[in-house]
Structure 1
Amino acid sequence: MTRYREKKYICGKYMEVNVYPAYEQIKGKRKKVKQTSEVQKALNDHNRKKKLTRLLNTNFDENDIKIELTYAENPKSDEEAEKCLRNFLRRLKRHRKKKNLPDLKYIVITEKGKRSGRIHHHCILNGGLLLSEIRDIWGLGIIRASQLEPGDKGFEALANYLTKNITNGEIEAYEKAWHASRNLVQPVERTNDSRISRKKAREMYENQESRDIFEKLYPDHFFVECQPIYNEVNGQYYLSIFMRKKE
């Protein structure tokens, strides 16, 4: 009998649940399946977006902001741009401390246009400062800012936007897709191999739009979405469920 695994990612107000068959691993050497470059790229892009969405949902809300830092004079090198960014974040931390605000929390994605070579930084920051204060602290060019607006799935759309240029190859990404402050809270992961049976997985698959079945299973959350897949090769069900915590 196939066991089904329920893997939860608890991300602040949101919860992502993945349900899939859990097969026993055979002892000995595992044969690695070599993926094509296109398949591997698509998988990396998918995982990158998921990871960033979870991190954003866990640490930020509608009181926080998104800013884009641009340069009036483009830095001469990637290293110079990174130095400018580090100095900006350092000054921002000091300014927040002077104003008795909570410690700075941030996620930054740096981009450089392949054709233009122009460098800019996308920053997600916790709120509390005026735009004029942030502009003065940056001081190297124009900044564009907007309040964060979560949707039904939190900041999934924002994560897709922040990573889209890396995904479609329009920009050169730095070695790391993003870097973040060390004080960010990581999503809580919980795995259970005994809660969901194959019968239950099929019931969820067949009732993928039924709010009642999912809210009965997760009573502390509102149902948002279920993305189901039936694999005709192995005859198993795969579900990705998104829930929002009840206030």
Structure 2
Amino acid sequence: MYLRNIAISADDKYRECSILGKSVPVDLVKAGRPRKRKENASRPVQKNLNYRNAQKWFRLSAVANFNEGDYTGEFTFAPENRPGSIEDCEKEIANFIKRINRARKKKDLPKMKYMGVIEGKNTDKLHFHLLLDNLLNRDEIDDLWTKGRGKNKKSIGFTNIEKIKTQYGIDGVIVKANYLTKEFKLENQKGKRKWFASRNLKKPVVERAQNWKYTDSKIARLLESEQLESQLEKDNPGWELIEFPRKNPETQKDELVKLDIRENEYLGTLIYYRMRRRR
């Protein structure tokens, strides 16, 4: 029986792929069934029970829209400025983004690209993180996390704005996206909002499904001969497999792998892998 090879790409520089049976639903695709042509990935509903879809969408969107040299920022609230609820925190963030976009408009710059998450188990600890472009410098952004004017201008809270950079050989955008989505599972259980993002982002793209390259028997032979990794790179010229973290299903310990292979009694062999353009 043939297997489908599905790739969801981020700006043609990074992709996450799955080899699975034709009856297995595909992540980030409407109704779980990919079409014969390219299509934009569907953003998961905030309260989607599959929090991993939310993590995947956030990660792919981050890679599609941000690069090393763009910024990651943490923004907190001083005790006297603490929001009383998630909704109040969202209003503060919206006003902050409006101030940034007004400052950009004065410089003839487009509206800011951003993605972010709100964190904090209670109102005393509410804060938020952003991925944002670098068209304003860090001092300019920090100066806008304030309220009031002139002598009455005061900081709303602490800021920590850094340039995104490679960490331990892993793309810095992926590292930050993984960090920012670490609480998605817990928040999903509570039905809370997970993320927010600007509307001017590029969307991840679901590539045309490949329904002819792999069969159950071919995958079995490649696994037995330990040639699956080299075959995947051969079948994707210009791309290379990269390591990614997963939890070992047997030991439950974190590990880095290039292939995540699972056997399912009903769905058969499921293979997940990530690739990037060769440098």
CA distance in 2, matches of 1:87, 1:246: 41
From 107, 131, 141, the equivalent of 1:99 is 107
Q: Is the 8 A contact 1:106 1:125 kept in 2?
A: yes
Q: Is the 8 A contact 2:219 2:228 kept in 1?
A: no
The answer to which of 234-243 and 8-17 deviates more is 234-243
Return the offset for 1:187: 0.7
Q: Is the 8 A contact 1:110 1:174 kept in 2?
A: no
Going from structure 1 to structure 2, the CA distance change for 1:136 and 1:229 (only over 3 Å counts) comes to same
Going from structure 1 to structure 2, the CA distance change for 1:207 and 1:155 (only over 3 Å counts) comes to farther
Return the offset for 1:224: 1.6
Q: What's the counterpart of residue 132 of structure 2? A: 125
Going from structure 1 to structure 2, the CA distance change for 1:208 and 1:93 (only over 3 Å counts) comes to farther
Equivalent residue of 1:113, what SS?
coil
Q: What's the counterpart of residue 29 of structure 1? A: none
Where do 1:138-177 residues align within 5 Å?
A: 138-139=145-146, 140-150=156-166, 151-152=169-170, 155-168=173-186, 175-177=192-194
Where do 1:1-247 residues align within 5 Å?
A: 2-12=1-11, 13-23=13-23, 44-72=50-78, 73-114=81-122, 117-139=124-146, 140-150=156-166, 151-152=169-170, 155-168=173-186, 175-190=192-207, 191-206=209-224, 212-225=230-243, 226-231=258-263, 233-234=265-266, 236-247=268-279
For residues 83-113 of structure 1, give each alpha carbon's deviation from its aligned partner in whole angstroms, at most 9, with x where no partner exists.
Answer: 2111110111121222233431001111233
Number of residue pairs the alignment of both structures matches: 229
Task: State the AA in 1 paired with 2:8.
Answer: Y
Sequence identity percentage: 30
CA distance in 2, matches of 1:90, 1:22: 46
Return the offset for 1:172: 9.7
Going from structure 1 to structure 2, the CA distance change for 1:203 and 1:9 (only over 3 Å counts) comes to farther
Q: What's the counterpart of residue 33 of structure 1? A: none
Q: Is the 8 A contact 1:111 1:174 kept in 2?
A: no
Equivalent residue of 1:144, what SS?
strand
Going from structure 1 to structure 2, the CA distance change for 1:189 and 1:123 (only over 3 Å counts) comes to same
Unmatched tracts of structure 1, length 5 or more: 26-40
Return the offset for 1:11: 0.9
TM-score by length of 1: 0.80
TM-score by length of 2: 0.71
For residues 46-66 of structure 1, give each alpha carbon's deviation from its aligned partner in whole angstroms, at most 9, with x where no partner exists.
Answer: 222222111111111102111
Going from structure 1 to structure 2, the CA distance change for 1:153 and 1:237 (only over 3 Å counts) comes to farther
**CA-atom RMSD, angstroms?**
3.0
The answer to which of 48-57 and 222-231 deviates more is 222-231
CA distance in 1, matches of 2:109, 2:270: 44
